[in-house]
Amino acid sequence: MNKRLFLKQVAALIGFGVATPAVRAAVSRKVELQRSPVAGFQYHQGEAIWSRLTVGASLSLAREPDNAYDPRAVRVDWQGQKLGYVPRIDNAAVSHLLDTGHVLDAKIVTLRNSGNPWGRIEFAVFLSGR
């Protein structure tokens, strides 16, 4: 997908601009906004539940506006277990969309047996059409 079409789709989903017919058709499905590693994986329940995680598994995203380290913090959970966070460098759009009531879904896209905790889980964030 080219950058211009992506931006038009996102704008249409969040209510900005005029949606073209192609964009209106695209908003009937989920639009992938970003892919990120899970930040802080090594400090939470990730290792304990590692064997139960699967590619394609749904994740939940929860805002933590009172987080002492990052006011835009977005927690990443799997079945009520905290895996970590959307990385600070990637969380501006996700936190804004959650704060403004948009529905975001997240799924695991990659699992790696890596010694680097930042390389263990990659997840995608999707914006759902209205």
pLDDT digits (tens, 9 = 90+) for 25-83: 555 578 999 999 999 988 888 888 999 999 999 999 999 999 999 999 999 999 999 99
Per-residue tokens: 80: 């009520």
Give the C-alpha separation, 101 to 84, whole Å. Answer: 22
Distance CA 21, CA 23 (A): 5
Listed by start position, the domains of the chain span 29-127
Residues 6+ apart with CB under 8 A from 115: none
Any idea of the CA torsion for 8, 124, 105, 81, to the nearest 10 degrees?
A: -160
Q: Is the pTM of this model over 0.85?
A: no
Counted residue by residue, the chain has a size of: 130
- Position 42 scores a pLDDT of 86
Both structure tokens of 94: 């996700």
Is the Cα dihedral 76, 83, 124, 91 positive or negative? positive
What is the per-residue pLDDT for 3? 47
Compute the mean pLDDT over every residue in the chain, rounded to the nearest whole number: 85
CATH number attached to the domain at 29-127 = 3.30.70.2330
- Collect all residues with Cβ–Cβ distance below 8 Å to 56 and sequence separation of at least 6: 107, 108
